Structure 1
């Protein structure tokens, strides 16, 4: 399937994060000529918790990242599940045993994670250009995107042409904004900050650690807003961070960086996270666009993938898995659409937002309700106090929050969660 002489590619992908590179990989595997434009050079720093659930692991396996040996042999740290701390309880919950997903998660710094996926896309046949900042769409007389304008590092501004564009440019969403697609204010959004610390005591932890309550010793034993995490990196460091949702009264009114150091000041000294000498780099922050907070996911020749389309899970702040899943879906739809023309092509492309809604719409709507509820400190305290002491209930909560169920069959928990997401109107 070759691009016409008037085009630079069949498809242009804007952004080479996990969503963009996964899209490019699957497009290339379908025989599509795909051009990926990325503003940064790899490897690159990226603000993230670095923890991957079994949903994301499944996508990594689809990319062929286990072809040269196990993940552990390639420097990934494997984890068994989630350790939840709150309400005076410390509970370790293993990832569920399912037919649909592996029963383990992984950790790897985003510094080289994105580079690994981009290299897989190139290996599959994608054309990756780094140092190229896409500045906006090229529109035809009908307002349809037929290419992009870009600034090339060390060169002149230029245009790239293709009949279809994938917007995978992350939370900023500059490309969809240029098309007039603004964020929806009625959908949840979070803010997260993170920092690396050297921690011999915690760096090789085989559980992702989630803190439902954050406390500060400054001014007494004071409860801080938000939730926290400590993820071992396996290289002598931990990724430590916290997040606050816009349903919280503290959202936008808090010094999140100071709050992080306040919380870490109350952690055990042997962990090394209350000593500035153990810090590795600055505290960095990023927004988490949740629950489809930018729509439509297809319009005028442009498909939105991952954070660009607000696909972060409202329940747990996970974005990588959904970026990669939406990228794979976008590639399948686009590969089918490129073999058609006119109204027939548009019908094929309309399958993308329809399938996203079918897969995630009800679940994200539940997540949006959940975010509003836990924004109330009293509800959060009651839920933590009465839920944490019950392991069976918490295993159900883990499946719900991580979106890990078997769609057909499965156990009673799976059937309840799947029924809930079908009953609730789609987001």
Structure 2
């Protein structure tokens, strides 16, 4: 949806949201439901591709349900019931998603090209104005206060609002333009993926490889990172790997070659070979553990990858971007009711970064310790060799890595994980 404006006039709204990925579109949806006028800017045109594993845990499933998305299989979603883990032996381990009060017992698979388009249209249905082909290149600042009052696009348009949401991804030109840079003391990952036509396309488990061998298991080199295989249900499988900056050689590694070295030694019948590849091998950065802060300041709100909200334990970003969107919209709506720009409204806006730290800060701090440990393939090998065969331990690890615990009550595992997160200093 787009609309015309008089030549040279600025479009004004209560909030401008830059970037119509899951974080941006969700923020726009929640804001529109709060009764605010929202302009949602997307630099490309839908449908458009994004580098992603396309697999969603029950945490993301809950976020979609909260925003009103029908996640039924009849609505085009592929359901999965757990995680299949390779590591420590030839045969994999299958770990069902935990049975919890706070989260549903299933995850999802859906291509990002379709997923993002659906969320953007959902925002439009809620009342947001979506403008595609709006490539934001600069912030408009108040000369006196340094506060952001809008944005401009490369084609010369101006969009003004008292609050601007930067949901413009890892590079977040908006945040950088206002002096909010990445923190070097936070982990960063790189993910590469491609698609193969494969008989493994129908699979009710997400699949994770905690050991990447460049030949026969146990008789070749153990490579850095972790791999995944997610059946897409359309004749293809999404196959990829992630590497952390705590791994040796990060930044000097040819990740596409690394992916090919791994899949070339998977069983021939799976079809993960060049002749079956659909599209190119593509990569993307994974900004983790709040690597860009503050999440609010001088009228600018950071949501999703722009605020480094990827889970360092498992590389998941969509669930946390959508959760942040809900928190951000609540704070913005409260600030609006107090009068944007007033001292009271600024207090209301501070609730957003405080909420993010309260809900995820301790958990992400634990994640930064975790990635330092598994950055050494030898440690990962020891963990998979001695940890995976112990079912009780692995159920605990699955809950920790996927951040799936009941916040109230729950079992002993939930209480231990929740206590650890509360005890850890915020990231």
TM-score by length of 1: 0.95
Query: How much has 1:218 moved relative to structure 2?
Result: 8.8
Aligned counterparts of 2:63 and 2:380: Cα–Cα separation in 1: 33
- 1:146 matches 2:149: yes
Alignment partners' CA distance in 1, 2:267 and 2:245: 30
Q: What CA distance in whole angstroms lies between the structure 1 residues aligned with 2:61 and 2:424?
A: 28
Conserved 8 A contact 1:244-1:250: no
Deviation per residue, 1:49-86 (Å, 9 max, x gap): 000011111111122221xxx52112211000100110
Separation (CA, whole Å) in 2 of partners of 1:305 and 1:410: 29
Q: Distance in 2 between matches of 1:194 and 1:126?
A: 32
1:38 equivalenced with 2:42 (yes/no)? yes
Rounded Cα–Cα distance in structure 1 between residues aligned with 2:258 and 2:189: 15
Name 1:16's counterpart in structure 2.
20
Secondary structure at 2:237 match in 1: strand
Q: Which moved more, 1:378-387 or 1:309-318?
A: 378-387
CA contact (8 A) 1:145 1:163 kept: yes
Q: Does 1:74 align with 2:75?
A: yes
Alignment of structure 1 residues 17-416 onto 2, 5 Å = 17-66=21-70, 71-88=72-89, 89-140=91-142, 141-152=144-155, 157-200=156-199, 202-217=200-215, 221-273=220-272, 275-341=273-339, 342-416=342-416
Show structure 2 runs of 5+ residues with no match. 1-8
Displacement of 1:250: 2.4
Counterparts of 1:383 and 1:305, CA distance in 2: 34
Question: Given that residues 218 and 262 in structure 1 are in contact (C-alpha distance below 8 angstroms), is that contact kept between their aligned partners in structure 2?
Answer: no
- What is the SS of the residue equivalent to 1:285? strand
Unaligned runs of 5+ residues in structure 1 are none
Is 1:23–1:327's contact at 8 Å kept on the other side of the alignment?
yes
Aligned equivalents of 1:376 and 1:109: distance in 2? 32
Residues 195 and 278 of structure 2 are in contact (CA less than 8 Å); yes or no, is this contact kept in structure 1?
yes
Contact residue 195 and residue 284 of structure 1 kept, 8 A: yes
- State the distance in 2 between where 1:379 and 1:233 align: 32
Alpha-carbon shift at residue 7 of structure 1 (Å): 6.2
Question: 1:419 matched to which residue of 2?
Answer: 419
Q: Partners in 2 of 1:100 and 1:218 — Cα distance?
A: 41
Relative to structure 2, which stretch is displaced further, 293-302 or 85-94? 85-94
- 1:312-331 CA deviation, whole Å, 9 max, x = no partner? 00000000000100011101
Task: Give the whole-Å Cα distance in 1 for the aligned partners of 2:286 and 2:12.
Answer: 33
Q: Identify the residue that residue 4 of structure 2 maps to in structure 1.
A: none
Task: Give the C-alpha shift of residue 385 in structure 1.
Answer: 1.2
Runs ≥4 in structure 1, deviation > 6 angstroms? none
TM-score w.r.t. structure 2 length? 0.95
Give me the whole-angstrom Cα distance separating, in 1, the residues matched to 2:210 and 2:11: 51
1:383 is displaced (CA, Å) by 1.2
**Distance in 1 between residues matched to 2:396 and 2:183, nearest whole Å:** 30
SS at the partner of 2:92? strand
Helix, strand or coil at the partner of 2:238: strand
How many residues of Structure 1 are paired with residues of Structure 2 in the alignment? 414
Shift in CA distance, 258/6, structure 1 to aligned 2, threshold 3 Å: closer
Instruction: Report deviation, 1:376.
Output: 2.0
Query: Does structure 2 conserve the Cα–Cα contact (< 8 Å) formed by 1:51 and 1:108?
Result: yes
CA distance in 2, matches of 1:7, 1:266: 55
Decide whether the 8 Å contact of 1:91 with 1:391 is kept in 2.
no
Aligned partner of residue 332 in structure 1, secondary structure: helix
User: Which secondary structure state, in structure 1, belongs to the residue aligned with residue 186 of structure 2?
Assistant: coil
RMSD of aligned Cα (Å): 1.4
